[in-house]
Structure 1
Amino acid sequence: MTRTTAYATTTGIALPGQPTAPARERCGELPAPVVRDLRDRAGHSPHGLLFGPRDLVVVTGLPGSGKSTLMHRTVQGIRIDSQDTRDRWDARLARLLPYAVYRPLVRLAHYAGLRRALRTGEGVVVHDCGTQAWVRDWLARAARRRGGTLHLLLLDVTAGTALDGQRERGRGVSRYAFLRHRRAAGRLLRAAEKGKLPEGIGSAVLLDRDAADVLHRIDFAR
Structure 2
Amino acid sequence: MTAVAVRPRSLIVLAGLPGAGKSTLLATADTGGEPAVVLDSDQVRTRLRALFPKAVPYRVYRPLVHLVHRLRILWFAITASGLLLVHEPSTRPSTRAGLVAVGALTNRPRHFLWLDASAEEALSGQVKRGRLIRSRSFARHVRRAARLRARFAAGAPPRGWHGLTLLTRGDHLRLSVAPA
TM-score in terms of structure 2 length: 0.86
Indicate the structure whose relative CO is greater, using CA pairs within 8 Å and at least 6 residues apart. Answer: 2
Match of 2:45 in 1: 86
SS in 2 for 1:50: strand
> Among 59, 63, 74, which residue is 1:100 paired with?
59
> Among 62, 75, 78, which residue is 2:17 paired with?
62
Superimposed CA distance per residue, residues 73-93 of structure 1 (whole angstroms, 9 cap, x where no aligned partner): 115411111122112212322
SS in 2 for 1:200: coil
Contact kept? 2:109, 2:162, Cα under 8 Å: yes
Superimposed CA distance per residue, residues 91-129 of structure 1 (whole angstroms, 9 cap, x where no aligned partner): 322504121221222122111111111012432111111
Contact kept? 1:143, 1:149, Cα under 8 Å: yes
Q: 1:209 to 1:131 in 2, by over 3 A?
A: closer
Match of 2:174 in 1: 217
SS in 2 for 1:166: helix
Output the amino acid matched with 2:54: R
1:158-169 to 2 correspondences below 5 Å: 158-169=118-129
Contact kept? 2:17, 2:91, Cα under 8 Å: no
Output the amino acid matched with 2:70: Y
1:167-206 to 2 correspondences below 5 Å: 167-206=127-166
Output the amino acid matched with 1:133: P
Match of 2:77 in 1: 118
Contact kept? 2:9, 2:109, Cα under 8 Å: yes
Partners of 1:133 and 1:75 in 2: CA distance? 28
Output the amino acid matched with 2:100: A
What is the total number of aligned residue pairs between the two structures?
Answer: 174
Partners of 2:174 and 2:54 in 1: CA distance? 36
Identity of aligned residues (%): 35
Q: Which 5+ residue runs of structure 1 have no aligned equivalent? A: 1-44
Offset at residue 221 of structure 1 (A): 5.4
Offset at residue 190 of structure 1 (A): 1.1
Q: Which 5+ residue runs of structure 2 have no aligned equivalent? A: none
Contact kept? 1:188, 1:197, Cα under 8 Å: no
Match of 1:71 in 2: 26
SS in 1 for 2:85: strand
Bigger Cα Rg: 1
